[in-house]
Chains A and B, each alone.
Chain A
Amino acid sequence: MIESIVIPMEHGLLLAAVLFSIGLLGVLVRRNIILILMSLEIMLNACGLAFVVVGAHWGQADGQIMFMLILSIAAAEVAVGLGLLLQAYRRFSSLDIDLANRMRG
């Protein structure tokens, strides 16, 4: 009986993939550093969702543990990112990433 209401893993992974693509698109298209960091967060959380879905499919706790790891990693990454953003705003008086692009590559 219960099996009939379980969401299949593929659906969950598809949702995660869509979220991931939205985040990736955001990073590529947006020029504001805050919005880029937000899109990055969406990508990382999409990965977290994928882990939870797969963990549920296998009936293991590993997926949720990885999700918690990802949460803390994303927090650390964004903390450093916001620190850099403050410095960038002070230096360039703008949050536009193109203004900060002065090297050739």
Chain B
Amino acid sequence: MNLDVYLLLPLISLSTVILTLMMLIAFCRNLSLTCAFSSIGLMVTLLLICAMAIDIQAAQTASLVDALVTPLIIVDAYALFFSGLMVFSSLCICLLSFNYHRARGEHQDEFYLLLLLATLGGVVLSQAAHFAMFILGLELLGVSIYAMISYPRAGRFSLEAALKYLILSGVSSAIILFGIALLYAAFGTLSFAEMAVLQRENSELDALYILAGSAMLLSGLAFKLSLAPFHMWTPDVYEGAPAPVTTLLATVSKGAIFAVLFRFFLSVDNYQYETILDGLFLLAVASIIFGNLLALTQSSIKRMLAYSSIAHLGYLLVAFIAADSVGGRALAIEASAIFLLAYFLTTIGAFGVVTVMSTEASDHDVDRLDEYEGLFWRRPMLATVFSVMLLSLAGIPLTAGFIGKFYIVVSGVDAELWSLLVIVVIGSGIGIFYYLRTIFAMTKRTMVTSVVHVPQTAGWTLAAVTLLLLVFGIYPTPVIEWVSRMAQAMT
């Protein structure tokens, strides 16, 4: 088979599924069929990506190493890892949200179409090697998410959340675009690889353009990654959006944008500018502190998870900054990949529980803390799953969250970022308080007697995610081996 076509297989299969689904919805509206078709399509894509990932590691030699397909797309192990992560979380969201949507009446089919389009955007972002592809992926992801946030017509806050996200995300896209234009003015090319060559060999580049461009790019992307102080929209949008979309926002959107930003920084080596490093340092500190402190005061589970996701992106930035030293670069890539994997599993699980709890409430999501009181006595399994997720967010051993946070600390120690590590430790300490508070609320004996019905599809998906989380927490060796070889190949 032609190598280019082989490398493009995940994108081709995902696009085929999207086009077929569009036709399918036009002729036959059936939610079960739509959901089954999109899940199978995502599963096939995931299997393809896994097969290619194993292939690439086996054939460390000639043909696959040069993974550039056209100047726009690069399909290396790094791209495959993140594409796989995007497709996996979208598959989980697809299965978790089936009953949620079925309980919400007609015209729910297009949701899956938008979900697949957003996933395609995420995959494009993680494979982008050129700013044209970067913009394409960013907007494919963004525009599908606007529509998905406003999807429930009866939703109390969904319209407001969608408007807020539309305006802020539009502004941040414009800022990113202007930053790219400035970088283009400095380099005269839009391809990451060519920029890297120029940066290495040519010392007469205009540093002012590069600095201004990188700063605009970084602040625009910080908006989308909801790093403090660009986080203002996060809690409102997380609260207003339906729970499955919140999951997507917290996982696919952030993971894909982080993947492409990290690839850009690594290949162009923007770390040589002190100003940018200082900016990143401030972003990390502010995100960890604000995220954790503001999460303390929340009485809504979704808002609490929103602030906790801000804090988690702050932890992730520690690894991002640790990639500054050339020697620690492989470790930093490994740490951020493993941290993101753990974060994805945990976030999908935590918002999955909210989705299951909200299945039968038609115009809002069940997310007030008091609605979760006594859950252990009403639904022991669901409460156990939620507790495992919260413990993993807190970074307690035997869960994936611990492995992730451990790696972050190791990469920070390796790069000697002591002040950042102190902040991470303080932040995690505060974090444990509000995670445990939620668990204690669930153990309370209360008068709430409303029965929570756990639908089958969502229930099994949650069980699978929890199992994966625990397996990864107890025996992470195979994944770590694969990821560390990927990181070695990147540097």
Contact = CB atoms under 8 A, between A and B. Distances in A.
A43 B171 contact: yes
Interface in A33-77: 33, 36, 40, 43-44, 46-47, 50-51, 54-55, 57-58, 60, 62-63, 65-66, 69-70, 73, 76-77
Interface residues of B, number: 40
B148 to A, nearest CB: 10
Contact of B185 (A13, A24, A40): A13
B160 A102 contact: yes
In this complex, the member of B132, B166, B239 whose beta carbon has the largest number of chain A beta carbons within 10 angstroms is B166
A69 B136 contact: yes
Contact of B174 (A40, A57, A100, A101): A40
Contacts, number: 121
Given A20-B178, A47-B177, A50-B178, A84 B184 contact: no
B132 A66 contact: yes
Interface stretch (B36-44, B230-238, B252-260): B230-238
Contacts of B174: 20, 23-24, 40, 43-44, 46-47
Nearest to A48: B177
B151 to A, nearest CB: 11
Contact of A87 (B159, B185, B190, B240): B159
Contacts of B146: 77, 80-81, 84
Interface of B: 131-132, 135-136, 139, 142-143, 146-147, 150, 153, 157, 159-163, 166-167, 170-171, 173-174, 177-178, 180-182, 184-185, 188-190, 232-236, 239-240
A32 B308 CA distance: 33
Given A50-B178, A65-B132, A105 B233 contact: yes
Interface in A68-105: 69-70, 73, 76-77, 80-81, 83-84, 87-88, 91, 97, 100-105
B132 to A, nearest CB: 6
B236 A103 contact: yes
B163 A97 contact: yes
Contact of B159 (A9, A40, A84): A84
A103 B239 contact: yes
Contacts of A91: 159
Nearest to A63: B184
A80 B173 CA distance: 15
B162 A84 contact: yes
17 contacts: A13-B182, A13-B185, A23-B174, A43-B171, A50-B178, A51-B177, A51-B181, A62-B189, A69-B136, A70-B177, A76-B139, A84-B159, A84-B166, A87-B153, A102-B157, A103-B239, A105-B235
Contacts of A87: 150, 153, 159
B190 A66 contact: yes
Contacts of B190: 62, 66
Contacts of B157: 102-103
B120 to A, nearest CB: 14
A76 to B, nearest CB: 5
The 3 closest A-B pairs by CB, nearest first: A50-B181, A47-B177, A43-B174
